[in-house]
Amino acid sequence: MVRDIQSESIGKLVFLGTGNPEGIPVPFCSCRVCQNTGIHRLRSSVLIQYQNKTLVIDAGPDFRTQMLVAGVSELDGVFLTHPHYDHIGGIDDLRAWYIVTQRSLPLVLSASTYRFLNKAKEYLFATPNVESSLPAVLEFTILNEDYGQEEFQGIPYTYVSYYQKSCHVTGFRFGNLAYLTDLCSYDAKIFSYLDNVETLILSAGPSETPIPFQGHKSSHLTVEEAKAFANHAGIKNLIITHISHCLEAERDQHPEVTFAYDGMEVLWTL
């Protein structure tokens, strides 16, 4: 992907994927969306570009395809939001970066996500030897606080914490844009970190709970709840991502809301 942002204060976000864990179309599904609309959504991830740096938020199971489709030839680092499969399922594909460049790849992640990876993918943390397979070679920056401001590869960012059921999730803000996927429950403190945000990207689920999930606690805001969250934060430009086939089927009920699509680009300003 060509880095074509000229202004020193303007960055770009590119949606690499905008689907929920099943993506669209859903395998085995015969619903109208999956069979007849021609809509395709890879699992949710975004590319962040600023000056001469390219970063990715989340490396889900479609990561390899997303890098090839977007034409990414240089990658400076990865942010991880939380350890669910649709957000880390492609982390082993980061091995390709080391194979091609012989350079390690920096990652930013919360302490809870780090602990999960250390247990679930312990080979990423082991000292390589001639008897072992070559894993991705990663450098971890661990966020030990729930909220804060840091810099990664020369790009300043703010991070916030919230929960999807019992799972700790990290959201990221770059200048006047915030990316908060898989938000379900949160502390009111989060709004103080969203002052002067102009574009808010949130995940959302359908207004009616799909049959397999009935009786389970919701893991996403509805579109109406996402709108209320944005209104409370004083943010007018709301973009919905992490879209399921059920939510896709009711898109026409929300003409005032922007639904992201794979390949969509959004500019942001520091």
User: How many folded domains does the chain comprise?
Assistant: 1
Instruction: Kindly state whether residue 42 falls inside one of the protein's structural domains.
Output: yes
The residues that bridge with 222 in the sheet, in sequence order, are: 205
Give the pLDDT confidence score for residue 36 in this predicted structure. Answer: 84
Q: Is residue 107 part of a domain?
A: yes
The answer to whether residue 2 is domain-embedded is no
Residue 100 belongs to some domain of the structure: yes
| Mean predicted lDDT score pLDDT of the chain | 93
The answer to whether 81 and 87 have CB atoms below 8 angstroms apart is yes
Indicate the pLDDT class of residue 1, thresholds 50, 70 and 90: very low
pLDDT confidence bin for 208, thresholds 50/70/90: confident
pLDDT of 2 reads 42
Angle, vertex CA 71, rays to CA 74 and CA 52, nearest 5: 35
Question: How far is CA 233 from each of CA 82, 98, 185, 195, 219, rounded to the nearest angstrom?
Answer: 23, 41, 15, 7, 21
Residue 39 maps to a domain: yes
Helix (H, G, I), strand (E, B) or coil at 53: strand
> Residue 129: its pLDDT value, please?
72
**Residue 195 CB neighbours (<10 A):** 9
Triad 126, 112, 101: Cα angle to 5°: 45
Q: Residue 99, exposed/middle/buried by CB under 10 A (0-12, 13-18, 19+)?
A: exposed
* pLDDT one-digit tens code per residue, 129-180: 767 788 889 999 999 999 999 999 999 999 999 999 999 999 999 999 999 9
Using the predicted structure, report yes or no on whether residue 121 has a pLDDT greater than 80. yes
Does the pLDDT value for residue 212 go beyond 80? no
Given the DSSP bridges, would you call strands 237-241 and 265-269 parallel, antiparallel or unpaired?
unpaired
Contact 243, 18 (CB under 8 A): yes
pLDDT value for 4: 55
Is residue 261 assigned to a domain? yes
Q: How far is 57 from 221, CA to CA, in rounded Å?
A: 20
Provide the residue range defining the domain that includes 159. 10-269
Q: CA–CA separation, 182 vs 102, rounded Å? A: 33
pLDDT tens for each residue of 103-120: 999 999 999 999 999 999
Q: Over 60: is that where the pLDDT of 73 sits?
A: yes
Domain harbouring 194, CATH code? 3.60.15.10
Residue 1 falls within a domain, yes or no? no
The confidence band for 207, taking pLDDT boundaries of 50, 70 and 90, is confident
Report, as an integer, the average pLDDT of 242-250. Answer: 96
| Sequence-ordered alpha helix ranges (H) in 39-152 | 63-70, 85-88, 95-101, 111-120
pTM here is 0.94
Cis peptide before 25, with omega less than 30 degrees from 0? yes
Contact 267, 15 (CB under 8 A): no
Does residue 176 contact residue 193 with C-beta atoms inside 8 Å? no
Residue 5 maps to a domain = no
| Secondary structure (3-state) at 99 | helix
